[in-house]
Structure 1
Amino acid sequence: LKRMYLEAKRAGRLNEFYVFHLGWPDHSARYNAVGRFGRISEVATRIAGQLSGEGNSAAFREFAWRFVNIIARALVALGRRPDYLQIQQHVINIEGIFQEYASKYFDEYDPKAWEAIVAIEGKLNEKNVPFNMKGRPFRVVAIDQYLSQTRVADPVMDGLRSAVRYDKTYFDKIVASLLPLLEKLTTGRMAELISPDYQDVNDPRPIFDWMQVVRKKAVVYIGLDALSDTEVAAAVGNSMFSDLVSVAGHIYKFGVDDGLPGGVPGTKVPINLHADEFNELMGEEFIPMINKGGGAGMQVTAYTQTMSDIEAKIGNKAKAGQVIGNFNNVFMLRVRETSTAELLTNQLPKVQVFTSTPASSANDSATGNTAFTSSSHDQVQQVSVPMIEPAHVVGLPKGQCFALMEGGNLWKIRMPLPGHDPDEVMPADLQALAESMRQTYQVGKVDDTGWWSAPGYQTLNESLPADL
């Protein structure tokens, strides 16, 4: 964080520097992960894509996708920008948005409909309400019955009506897997960050989106606080990746300046993305980003510990290989897993080396003037051996790595360790944020307090009795 701030300051781009951190909402910028889209269906994909698709869960994920898509279409038709809070509110209470959209539609296309709806509502009671509409407000039942008597060719109205016509108990069951995810994303102050209130002019925290960031050539630090809540971090991170893929697709087709007066069609700018511990955030959205994002100028640098981390997250060895195969360059520092080291060593050609084998012999001679005979020679052979063994990678010192670049050129690199960055130039709130992150995330320094400071471990440092 400190390094990014200082480099942005040196580059004269401090006004375009954003910090988004789920762990410190007071100092964080705000970002709506589902507020910008090329197609409305992307909203449902970003939310329902976080649900499990294994086995029987796949059917429930498809149901969740459909209902989120219905709600997102209705929100856009009502002139609102979708966010997690509104999606959660209308998943819990689908009748509210159904009545609201019906009011807008009838006021615009059929003003006399309300007279018939009120008349139908006056005749309803608990006995004559259809079984599948039990528990619904009478106004909702009246609107549904009026729509049954008339022909309304409106896809948004049809979608909302089909959702309302489900039995309420059945509807709650098929969206049961969606609600826990939405609860996690909208609980506490985190909702302020990922469901920002665009009309709150008293909130000084900026709101950014990826197209705005790319056009301004901004610098963005994203902290997802995965150590505290891995599921929420993965959900927000995957939504960000999905949004970024959508932006990359738009840039690939139309350029960065599309829609701006005086813009040059097809203009692209380099987009550099650095993802640390990216296996924690990786989902289906990450694969098209590294596979096709280069056409939009996107350059992805991903950091992880082992190959197994990627396979464990995706759950598919073939897809893990697909992810790794889309990276052009490999920089490998010291690793502890042999299979990870073999990712580098197996791509290197074998080399020919010469081996010298010394040999000598002596034989007794029982006749003549010769007491013995001896010979000595060196046998030279050409042997094919690997250029680098996995043991060489496992034993790398700190600050050194092997780099496989430009299609197969091998480099041995020594990197200087980063020095201490002065924080006097940083604002007070970012200094406090950086100090809190240092104490929370970098446990293990000499002056830090950790598990070894507990009384049980402190006694291990005491002197032993004389008899021991």
Structure 2
Amino acid sequence: MFESVDFEEPWRKVHEWPMSLAWLSASAITLAVTATLPVPTRVGVATSLACLSFAAWRAAQAWVRSQARGRAVEKTRKEFVTPQELISKQKPGLLWLGKGFAWTDIEARKMHALIGKGLAKTFGKEFITDGAHWLHGLSSEDDVYADLGLLEGHTLIVGSTGVGKTRLFDLLIAQAIARGEPVIIIDPKGDHGLASNALKVCEALGQPERFVYFHPAHPERSACIDPLRNWNRKTELASRIAALIPSETGADPFTAFGWKVLNDIVNGLIATGQRPNLVQLRRYIEGGPDDLLLKALRMHFKTKVPDWESRSSSFVKQFKGNQLLAYIAFYKEIVIHEAQSVDLDGLISTYEHNREHFQKMVASLIPILSMLTSDPLTELLSPDFEVGHDKLVTDMARIIRADKVMYVGLDSLADATVGSAIGSILLADLTAVAGDRYNYGIDSIKPINVFVDEAAEVINNPTIQLLNKGRGAGFRMTIATQTFADFASRLGDENKARQVLANTNNKIALRVQDAETQKYIADGIPKIKARSMMIRYGHNVDSNIHDAYSASYQEQATEEEADLIPPAILSELPPLHYFARLSGGLTIKGRLPILHAQAARKRRV
């Protein structure tokens, strides 16, 4: 019974203003009566002050309610922040997420009440434009901070095109740079603003040398990255490239055969003292491993077989000077019993495979290697310069050890296939670095921040492993996408797509139009009880009794289960507005400023 009486409609008219005015008038009238009529002065003044206090009390209530309505009606404007201002907002152990407030059942009930009452009815039709700005007016905003430790669970950002995913990246990246941590940015679109802002933050800190730039469209100022430099086991290199072969299951015969050929050639290169790179792999797969096998056999004979030259001379005569065939026969008949090499066995097997069948089986591998070794990628991804060159050559392990800030633009708008292949192999290289740190210990307590925009274009199985096990190696992954269906389309398996989602404990949703994505965000949040008031009027005239009439009035407060964040409301968010559901259960409604070097001139527009 108490709850039904205690119910208050949060969006009713502000009746407190007229009530305050009435009390104020009563105070003035009381003073006037006291001055003109024979009323005791003390009584009159005391009564007037009492009326004045009630007027002030009602005015305070009216002000609070008017402010709440005013926040809902006022449209939020774009705000800008400079790198210096953003750096100054940092607090130890905390991450700044713009302006906003904790979204609780209090704000959610106000939202449901307003939706039930009707936006147009409450504020007018002209109010409903350019997104649901009123959501941000349901509470007073302030700087929003989140515990940095929450980022260890990885973060997923979803939002349609042009709603602020990249601008959110700007804020997160800038703060990671300011903390002095290694930062790796993989940007399929090649957004100039994202790279520029990262560089400006480094400059604002007085550390421009930390910034490393990679972009296939700008080879003249791009650093060179060797994606095959880091590995723990030789088989990783073959797996890294075989993962790029188009496959529905990842276990079809073409992928398996491609992996074997890659592994055999990698073993041959290492056996001959050469460092594998993409150019060499392409050379020996397209042209055949003849030269490599000959070098590997000679190297093995020199180190393992005494007096091998004289012992193999008879085989050379037998094959009429064809050293490769002679050495293969010598190995199979003599050496294999004395000093067998598994690496040589595999390379010989690849060499002796039927050429026509070999070409068919590697038909899907050759285009991938061609893409990754065509100009200008020949030098950018397979650097092999003479001593004294002035080109920056690096790899993911070096970037991490030196606390660098690396921006990788993939130029996917110009060539999506090549861009995807570059991003995928670099992420596989990162996974290898994570494995090395995981297996052999972490030499630095600093976390590694990896940001992947439009992640569905580059995500692969190694990336899933990085999400799954990277936390133990100090990796903090932040990935952005437009819809969850993009992951399933890229990976070809809905279960793998769910693995990606399950490995991100923090979800940040900007405006989302895809219904499935909306539902996924909302379903992961507990429900609330939304309260509403039902009012019933009734009257009745008894036809049997002359002039008999009865009437009734009933108020009923009800509570129904409702979403803390209704799925459809995500499609109404204005640009740069977001809902965040963080690990541990904290939900935030916030809005983002735009990182801009000239923010002082254009504070608000």
Where on the TM-score scale, by shorter chain, does this alignment land: which range?
Answer: 0.7 to 0.9
Does structure 1 residue 335 correspond to structure 2 residue 522?
no
2:550 corresponds to: 373
* Alpha-carbon distance, 1:57 to partner: 7.5
Q: 2:379 aligns with which of 192, 205, 221?
A: 192
Does structure 1 residue 291 correspond to structure 2 residue 468?
yes
Q: How does 1:57-456 map to 2 (within 5 A)?
A: 58-91=252-285, 92-110=287-305, 112-115=307-310, 117-124=312-319, 138-152=322-336, 153-202=340-389, 204-257=390-443, 267-365=444-542, 371-420=548-597
1:48-96 CA-partner distances (Å, limit 9, x unpaired): 1111333798112111111111111121122221100011111222111
- TM-score, scaled to structure 1: 0.80
Distance in 2 of aligned mates of 1:276 and 1:247:
20
SS at match of 1:54: coil
Distance in 2 of aligned mates of 1:243 and 1:57:
21
Letter in 1 for 2:276: P
Cα distance change of structure 1 residues 167 and 315 upon mapping to structure 2, 3 Å threshold: closer
Cα distance change of structure 1 residues 199 and 39 upon mapping to structure 2, 3 Å threshold: farther
SS at match of 2:479: strand
**Greater Cα offset, 311-320 or 53-62:** 53-62
Q: Which of these two proteins has the greater Rg computed from alpha carbons?
A: 2
* Alpha-carbon distance, 1:43 to partner: 0.8
Letter in 1 for 2:513: R
SS at match of 2:224: coil
More helix by share: 2
- Percent identity among equivalent residues? 29
2:318 touches 2:326 (CA, 8 Å); kept in 1?
A: no
1:93-143 CA-partner distances (Å, limit 9, x unpaired): 211101111222223333643345454344447xxxxxxxxxxx9322111
SS at match of 2:461: coil
1:214 touches 1:256 (CA, 8 Å); kept in 2?
A: no
1:51 corresponds to: 245
* Alpha-carbon distance, 1:173 to partner: 2.7
Distance in 2 of aligned mates of 1:415 and 1:85:
44
Cα distance change of structure 1 residues 417 and 56 upon mapping to structure 2, 3 Å threshold: closer
* Alpha-carbon distance, 1:225 to partner: 1.2
Cα distance change of structure 1 residues 352 and 55 upon mapping to structure 2, 3 Å threshold: closer
1:351 touches 1:386 (CA, 8 Å); kept in 2?
A: yes
1:9 corresponds to: 203
Cα distance change of structure 1 residues 317 and 36 upon mapping to structure 2, 3 Å threshold: same
Q: Which has the higher contact order (CA 8 A, sep 6+)?
A: 2
1:262-302 CA-partner distances (Å, limit 9, x unpaired): xxxxx432101110001100011111111110111111111
* Alpha-carbon distance, 1:160 to partner: 1.9
1:384-425 CA-partner distances (Å, limit 9, x unpaired): 222222221101011101110133221110112333559xxx
* Alpha-carbon distance, 1:211 to partner: 1.7
- TM-score, scaled to structure 2: 0.63
Distance in 2 of aligned mates of 1:25 and 1:341:
40
Cα distance change of structure 1 residues 367 and 159 upon mapping to structure 2, 3 Å threshold: closer
